[in-house]
Amino acid sequence: MPKSSIVSHPAENPDSHHHKNFIETEVEKDFGTKESLQGRKIQTRFPPEPNGYLHIGHAKSICLNFGLARSYGGQCNLRFDDTNPSKESQEYVDSIQRDVRWLGFDWDNLFYASDYFQQLYDWALQLIREGHAYVCDLNADQMREYRGTLTEPGRNSPFRDRSVEENLDLFLRMKNGEFAEGARTLRAKIDMEAANFNLRDPVLYRIMFAHHHRTGNDWCIYPMYDWAHGQSDSIEGITHSICTLEFENHRPLYDWFCKTLRIFHPRQMEFARLNLSYTVMSKRKLLQLVTEKHVDGWDDPRMPTISGYRRRGYTPESLRNFCETIGVARFNGVIDVLVLENAIREHLNKTTSRYMAILDPVKITLT
């Protein structure tokens, strides 16, 4: 693993004037300074969903998670959050691994959320038995209506008070494929009047008859992201689950799951995602560009994907230097694309040879 481009290494850079970012400060509050870790190790992870190629925004998360582990003598896992088989494929798994390595990093462990499907199912049974989850027959539109609004509390589902025995029976039948897609879901029983929408009885499992790129047709119920993510962190012993800011209001749910299940509780922290001026980074929109053939694949040099920048001539060092330059912030902002262009220009100025050439020579005869 190369020297981190977001977190510094004082031992390797004795003259560095690096100032700790807020995540490093919080890590040292939890673990002590680098000199006083006393055998304790930070454990981070980079958890992409394999539903597209990595874009420039992912480079920041890669540098941060792998860099923290390197800086504090810990480990960083690569984990694929493969819980939505209808949008995922092995092609994306392969491309993500290739891009992480090209950036100059390597993972200590390679995991998949699908590795934990049985454990997640068993924990769901635990929630049902303890009265914390129920099978709901509301469809998506009805559920949205019952959820309420920002100014109005939600209403309890008419199926919320089913008995433990009935919920266990229905959930098993969901797993066995006895119901159609969308007919039933498993929901956590939290608080339909909570100010935070994520706590209004979120869905844990939905029925989906889709071939999974790893588990095949073994499962027809799949965990939602919020249910799989935190518990996967817990299973792997992740100490600091570092997410972008859009997951900040998911943190109470993350904490609720860990506390209710009485399992190892990682700490979730959020940082500002990378927004680049004049640059589209929505996976959905990038996929549309590819499927409608507006571009020549995910690695088209016009695409803001890591593989696209690679084809354009960017170097891994320039992308890491760019991530170092923009730093780690608490609040979202827009970075001028010129900062990225300057990063490759500065790196090439230092590392490439310069030659003079005449592209359209004119023959001159000397007499």
Give Dmax (Cα) for the chain.
Answer: 105
**Spatial separation of the C-alpha atoms in residues 173 and 220, rounded to whole Å:** 11
- Number of helices (H), then strands (E), in the chain: 12, 11
273 is catalytic: yes
Burial group, residue 204, by CB count within 10 angstroms (0-12, 13-18, 19+): buried
Phi-psi category of residue 32: left, alpha or beta, with phi > 0 → left and psi -120 to 50 → alpha: left
**Spatial separation of the C-alpha atoms in residues 329 and 268, rounded to whole Å:** 15
Are residues 253 and 281 in contact, defined by beta-carbon separation less than 8 angstroms?
no
Beta strands 43-46 and 75-80 are parallel
Are residues 112 and 214 in contact, defined by beta-carbon separation less than 8 angstroms?
yes
**What is the side-by-side strand order in the sheet with 75-80?**
43-46, 75-80, 109-112
For every residue of 87-125, DSSP letters joined together read: G--HHHHHHHHHHHHHTT---SEEEEGGGGHHHHHHHHH
Q: Bridge-partner residues for 268, per DSSP?
A: 241
Tokens of 295: 């571009």
User: Which of 283, 310, 320, 324 is labelled catalytic?
Assistant: 283
User: Which of 70, 206, 273, 310 is labelled catalytic?
Assistant: 273
Q: What are phi and psi of 154, to 5 degrees?
A: -80, 175
49 is catalytic: yes
Q: Looking at this protein, which amino acid is placed at residue 203? A: V
Closest alpha carbon to 327 in 5, 1, 3: 5
DSSP at 35: G
**Spatial separation of the C-alpha atoms in residues 64 and 272, rounded to whole Å:** 12
Q: Bridge-partner residues for 212, per DSSP?
A: 216
Residues noted as catalytic: 49, 273, 283
